[in-house]
């Protein structure tokens, strides 16, 4: 049996996709949630001084999307063809393009709520909606309702986590107009293992 240890802060953030994948596959892992005070001691031990880090039988793997892709491969959640696998990579990278400008409106970066609220519409219009429009269109053509091919793949979990984080940042109405994206979100939420995980998930901020 493979020994998995996931190290991150007590946040959902960049580790949550891995946690969702473990829950989906019903695979046990050690979920290490470090406190801020422990970080200075742990940071130099991480491959690139950051987390999440997944240790696989003691060997560290960094970068949240590499971790998610690896677990997707281990748990049979890759799309079928190598081209579709690349499309899954493309879609995962798109979430980063939407996260990046959103960093300006997270409370840790901008403590002034009024300033955050003033910036949000511009970020949504310029950097998020143009991409979500394309994804909505992509899903409207998907017979399965999944992002790539006819079965759930790791990138569907990346999008679920993305939608949760965006909801925390922009409020629950930011994607009201996206019916297919909303159905996709619900489809993940209703997978029995995920529903069970979400119910028992320890409370942790964005
Ligand atoms: N590209 C990396 C970014 C990792 C990252 O930004 N980690 C942050 C937490 S979300 C971190 O370790 N911050 C503490 C630090 O840099 O000292 C990934 O996707 O895993």
DSSP 190: T
pLDDT tens profile 73-90: 999 999 999 999 999 999
Q: Is 64 touching ligand 1 by the criterion CB < 6 Å?
A: yes
> Residue 50 C-alpha to ligand 1 middle, in angstroms?
5
Q: Has residue 140 got a pLDDT over 90?
A: yes
Q: How far apart are CA 204 and CA 195, in angstroms?
A: 17
Q: Is 43 touching ligand 1 by the criterion CB < 6 Å?
A: yes
Q: Has residue 139 got a pLDDT over 90?
A: yes
Domain boundaries, the chain: 4-75+193-200, 82-190
Are 139 and 147 spatial neighbours (Cβ–Cβ below 8 Å)? yes
The CATH number, out of the four listed (3.40.50.720, 3.40.50.10540, 1.20.1050.10, 3.30.70.360), of the domain defined by the range 82-190: 1.20.1050.10
HSE-CB of 14 using CA atoms within 13 angstroms: 18
- Percent residues over pLDDT 90 in the chain: 93
Cβ burial, residue 183 (10 Å; 0-12/13-18/19+)? exposed
Closest residue CA from atom 9 of ligand 1 = 51
Q: What local confidence, expressed as pLDDT, does residue 172 receive?
A: 84
What is residue 51's three-state secondary structure?
Answer: coil
Q: Is 183 touching ligand 1 by the criterion CB < 6 Å?
A: no
Report the DSSP beta bridge partners of residue 55: 5, 60
Give the pLDDT band of residue 108 (cuts 50, 70, 90).
confident
Q: What local confidence, expressed as pLDDT, does residue 105 receive?
A: 95
For residue 101, the surrounding DSSP H or E stretch is: helix 82-102
Name the class of domain 4-75+193-200: alpha beta
Look up tokens 């910036």; give the residue. Answer: 119
Averaged pLDDT, 198-202 = 92
> Residue 52 C-alpha to ligand 1 middle, in angstroms?
7
Are 74 and 60 spatial neighbours (Cβ–Cβ below 8 Å)? no
Counting from 1 in the atom list of ligand 1, the atom nearest the Cα of 13 is 10
Closest residue CA from atom 17 of ligand 1 = 50
What is residue 63's three-state secondary structure?
Answer: coil
Look up tokens 């009024």; give the residue. Answer: 114
> Residue 104 C-alpha to ligand 1 middle, in angstroms?
16
pLDDT tens profile 36-58: 999 999 999 999 999 999 999 99
């Amino acid at each position: 049996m493979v020994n998995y240890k996931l190290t991150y802060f007590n946040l959902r953030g960049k580790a949550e996709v891995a946690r969702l994948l473990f829950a989906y596959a019903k695979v046990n892992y050690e979920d290490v949630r470090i406190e801020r005070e422990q970080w200075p001691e742990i940071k130099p031990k991480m491959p690139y001084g950051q987390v999440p880090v997944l240790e696989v039988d003691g060997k560290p793997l960094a970068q949240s999307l590499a971790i998610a892709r690896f677990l997707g491969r281990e748990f049979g959640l890759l799309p079928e063809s190598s081209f579709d696998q690349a499309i899954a990579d493309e879609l995962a990278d798109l979430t980063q393009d939407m996260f990046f400008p959103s960093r300006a409106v997270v409370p840790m970066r901008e403590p002034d709520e009024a300033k955050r609220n003033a910036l949000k519409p511009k970020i949504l219009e310029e950097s998020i909606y143009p991409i979500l429009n394309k994804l909505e269109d992509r899903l409207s053509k998907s017979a399965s309702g999944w992002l790539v091919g006819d079965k759930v793949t790791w990138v569907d979990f990346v999008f679920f986590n993305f939608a949760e984080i965006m909801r925390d940042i922009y409020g629950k109405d930011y994607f009201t107009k996206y019916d297919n994206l909303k159905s996709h979100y619900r489809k993940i939420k209703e997978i029995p293992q995920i529903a069970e995980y979400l119910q028992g998930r320890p409370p942790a901020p964005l």
